[in-house]
Amino acid sequence: RNLLATHGTVFRLTCPYTSQQNWRAERVLRTLNDCVCTLLFHANVPPRFWPDALATATLLDNIRPCRV
């Protein structure tokens, strides 16, 4: 915990199997899922390209200049 604190990271525990407590992670997952579905739909490609669309969606999320 001291190492995390020196780098400005706050260590917090959540109850197991309660992902609802981690709203930020849930929001990121939903954003990525929406982006993947949109990419697949507009490119008119089959679902077998899901991993590639997920990689693209993750890249787009990481290079976006601001968080939504």
pLDDT tens column, 24-67? 778 889 999 999 999 999 999 999 999 999 999 999 998 988 76
pLDDT at residue 14 above 80? Answer: no
- Going from the C-alpha of 3 to that of each of 7, 12, 45, the distances in angstroms are 7, 14, 45
Phi, psi of 9 (to 5 degrees): -95, 130
67 to 27, 44, 62: CA distances (angstroms) = 11, 28, 9
The answer to whether residue 1 scores a pLDDT higher than 90 is: no
57 neighbors 39 (Cβ within 8 angstroms)? yes
pLDDT for the residue 27? 86
What is the pLDDT averaged over residues 10-18?
A: 75
How much is the pTM?
0.66
Return the biggest CA–CA distance within the chain. 50
- The larger pLDDT score, comparing residue 28 to residue 19, is at 28
